[in-house]
């Protein structure tokens, strides 16, 4: 009965965190695919400029709200993406208690909304659930190595608890919930000032400042371009039957931070030196996703190589810099 009713109206998807870096790209992709999109965001780290190009589209609606407060809507909601949570360490550590609340109470509120609306929910989890991993590359069955008392714990443990809630709702048959473990993703619309490694290095290079490297720079990360990640999230939401287990989404290419800095230097043509600073507490040494599960279940594999994605991201930041300098003249 419900399905027949649903089939007659445009389907609605709620994107919590839709004004953020990933969320805004996701909202755009969903609108392009014919969904009506409700974006819920408290603008903690999200920016109006991220969604300005879709604000006036008829299928788009913005609700300014913190997900720590219960959500309710008169209208039907078919799907929910929960991307709401500051993702950069300086930002999520600025108010760690709110970060834990967002991950735990916020996710609980969205799960309850999913139950009431009979909606499918996808939780944006993170490679940080593996902590500083002792297994390499990281497969989904690795249970992780996380310090529950350190400064990163609000995010790492918050996201782990959010996963626990998701799988308990799924096991109880209360909601159709999926969990994607996202690895480091970069691209246009990253906040130039939020302290993530790719945006930091690019901004420093463009402003001809020294490029900061934490530790010896030999720690590794994998970098996924945003369009690949959004494609993975949408496949994960669509896939039937529910995989019933978390799925890693990331680019398995593994790069040291000094190698990334060298690429940024070469591509921006900067003469900036490298400046080495102490490694922050609990910073993981190695990070590389095993994506066999995503390949098998979703037929997904990232397509954009690092040099191509970096070029697009550098162009975005260069334009931003240009317009800023223009504004000051």
For residues 4 and 119, give the distance between their C-alpha atoms in angstroms, rounded to a whole number: 15
Please report how close the Cβ of residue 73 comes to ligand NAD at its closest, in angstroms.
Answer: 15
Q: Based on C-alpha coordinates, what's the Rg of the chain?
A: 19
CB 243 within 8 A of CB 290: no
Look up tokens 């799907």; give the residue: 79
Token pair of 24 as six digits: 């805004």
- Residue 316 annotated to the active site: no
Q: Taking Cα atoms as reference points, which of 120, 95, 106, 96 lies closest to residue 17? A: 106
CB 291 within 8 A of CB 252: yes
Please report how close the Cβ of residue 46 comes to ligand NAD at its closest, in angstroms.
Answer: 2
Active-site option among 92, 130, 142, 155: 155
Angle at 162 between CA 157 and CA 168, to 5 degrees: 125
Question: Residue 172's CB: how many other CB atoms inside 10 A?
Answer: 9
Residues engaged in binding ligand NAD (CB under 6 A)? 16-17, 19-23, 41-46, 66-68, 83-87, 102, 106, 124, 126, 182, 184-185
Rounded to the nearest angstrom, the gap between the alpha carbon of residue 244 and the centroid of all alpha carbons in its chain is 21
Please report how close the Cβ of residue 4 comes to ligand NAD at its closest, in angstroms.
Answer: 33
Nearer Cβ to ligand NAD, position 106 or 217? Answer: 106
Please report how close the Cβ of residue 69 comes to ligand NAD at its closest, in angstroms.
Answer: 8
For residues 69 and 49, give the distance between their C-alpha atoms in angstroms, rounded to a whole number: 25
Alpha helices in the chain (DSSP H): 2-7, 21-32, 48-51, 89-94, 96-101, 107-117, 153-171, 197-206, 226-238, 257-268, 292-298, 306-328
Relative orientation angle of helices 226-238 and 21-32, to the nearest 10 degrees: 60
Please report how close the Cβ of residue 83 comes to ligand NAD at its closest, in angstroms.
Answer: 4
Q: How far is CA 119 from CA 13, 111, 234, in A?
A: 9, 9, 15
For residues 274 and 158, give the distance between their C-alpha atoms in angstroms, rounded to a whole number: 34
Residue-wise DSSP of 231-262: HHHHHHHH-SS---S-EEES----EEHHHHHH
For the annotated catalytic residues, the residue numbers are 155
């Amino acid at each position: 009965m419900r399905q027949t009713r649903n089939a007659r109206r445009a389907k609605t998807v709620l994107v919590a965190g839709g004004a953020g870096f990933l969320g805004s790209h996701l909202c755009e992709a969903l609108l392009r695919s014919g969904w009506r999109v409700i974006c819920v965001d408290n603008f903690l780290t999200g920016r109006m400029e991220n969604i300005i190009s879709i604000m006036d589209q008829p299928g788009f609606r913005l609700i300014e709200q913190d997900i720590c407060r219960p959500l309710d809507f008169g209208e039907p909601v078919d799907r929910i993406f929960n991307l709401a949570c500051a993702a950069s360490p300086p930002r999520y550590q600025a108010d760690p208690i709110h970060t834990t609340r967002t991950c735990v109470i916020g996710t609980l509120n969205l799960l309850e909304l999913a139950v009431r609306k009979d909606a499918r929910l996808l939780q944006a989890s993170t490679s940080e659930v593996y902590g500083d991993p002792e297994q390499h590359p990281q497969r989904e069955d690795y249970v992780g190595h996380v310090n529950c008392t350190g400064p990163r714990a609000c995010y790492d443990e918050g996201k782990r608890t959010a996963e626990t809630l998701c799988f308990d709702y799924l096991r109880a048959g209360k909601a159709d919930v999926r969990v994607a473990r996202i690895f480091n993703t970069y691209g246009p619309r990253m906040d130039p000032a939020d302290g993530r490694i790719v945006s930091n290095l690019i901004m420093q290079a463009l402003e001809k400042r020294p490029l900061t490297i934490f530790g010896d720079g030999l720690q590794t990360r994998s970098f996924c371009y945003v369009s690949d990640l959004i494609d993975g999230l949408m496949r994960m939401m669509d896939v039937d039957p529910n995989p019933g287990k978390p799925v890693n989404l990331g680019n398995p290419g593994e790069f040291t931070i000094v190698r990334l800095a060298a690429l940024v230097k070469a591509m921006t043509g900067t003469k900036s030196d490298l400046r080495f600073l102490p490694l922050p507490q609990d910073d993981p040494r190695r990070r590389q996703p095993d994506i066999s599960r995503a390949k098998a279940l979703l037929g997904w594999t990232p397509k954009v190589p690092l040099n191509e994605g970096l070029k697009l991201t550098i162009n975005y930041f260069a334009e931003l810099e240009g317009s800023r300098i223009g504004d000051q003249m």
